[in-house]
Amino acid sequence: MILMSPPCQPFTRIGLQGDVSDPRTNSFLYILDILPRLQRLPKYILLENVKGFETSSARDKLVETLKKCGFKYQEFLLSPTCLGIPNSRLRYFLIAKLQSELFSFQAPGQILENFPDQEPKASVKHRVAASLEKESGFMPPKEEYIDPNSGSDGGSGQCLQKEAFVFKLETVKEMEQKWNQDSNLSIQMLKDFLEEDGEEMSQYLLPPKALLRYAFLLDIVTPSCRRSTCFTKGYSHYVEGTGSVLQTAEDLQLQSVFKSIEMLSEGEKLMKLSTLKLRYFTPREVANLHGFPPEFGFPDKITIKQRYRLLGNSLNVHVVAKLISLLTG
């Protein structure tokens, strides 16, 4: 079996997208060059990369080579959420086996966004949302928002254009997306992946400087949430866009903290934000969300920063395990 995870920088959507012209693709192109010349081809291949690889020239060369060598292949765009794990980590995967070996499912020419034995995403989302609305009578937000300068924490709100901002610099679309994720009862709550609180947790609290500078950009979740954003290797070192932070003061509403906060002095603002008790997820908690077993651990000499960097480059164990079972089953 060949397992491949080529450098993602040439394909990432926020990069230069140099594709095959990027020198970091050379090692991957070398593999594609020698594969047809091997006396004994591998029985199985599994490749992973970022979303964006599926539209690249490198992907086209990969598929062309696999066909030339007689492989059957299947492509996927998968996130751990499809397995009920509350962490968004969308990745491109390809599994391939020699033509004499058939897959137990058939989806030629498709990039699957779920495993073959699961319902389509739209079907699951509709069923879960309908069930929740029926039980609770609560409907997701439409074009309403919470006015950060109004006298209430909710109210009826008022209609906005799609690009308008709600409290904490979120658009209406982003707010709806978060509600949909948290209402998906097929996904576990974050509390199932958290460590017990203790004195050592104080080292993970966001420093005052980060609170004041990035408060309106943070993706804040609570233990009862069913979502978290992708943790990158820069988590805790950089704040913006590197992963969610945990609000441990669950009894507080974000709206009540962020309401009119820009009118306060720096000291008052910091005092109000501190009541949320925001902290980073610990490396063990990130590892839990990645599916690493309880016995997994780091050597004592590995710093917290190094642990985050390693985890930020990791794949979800459960997703990869299921792909391998499809490949070899």
Which of the residues are catalytic?
A: 8
* Region class of 205: left (phi > 0), else alpha (psi between -120 and 50), else beta: beta
Cα gap 46→108, rounded to integer Å: 17
Cα gap 64→59, rounded to integer Å: 9
* Region class of 194: left (phi > 0), else alpha (psi between -120 and 50), else beta: beta
Eight-state DSSP code of residue 288: H
Burial-class residue 51 by CB neighbours within 10 Å (0-12, 13-18, 19+).
middle
Reading the block at residue 150, the tokens are: 């109004």
Using the structure block, give the residue that is written with the tokens 């902290």.
279
Eight-state DSSP code of residue 65: H
Q: How far is CA 49 from CA 33, 43, 65, 242, 292, in A?
A: 19, 21, 17, 18, 20
| 162-177 exposure pattern, b = at least 16 Cβ within 10 A, e = fewer | eeeebbbebbbeebee
Give CB contacts under 8 A, 24+ apart, made by 199-207.
201/279, 201/282, 203/304, 204/236, 204/279, 204/280, 204/281, 204/282, 205/277, 205/278, 205/279, 206/239, 206/245, 206/278, 206/279, 206/280
Cα gap 240→14, rounded to integer Å: 14
Helix or strand or coil: residue 159? coil
Burial-class residue 232 by CB neighbours within 10 Å (0-12, 13-18, 19+).
middle
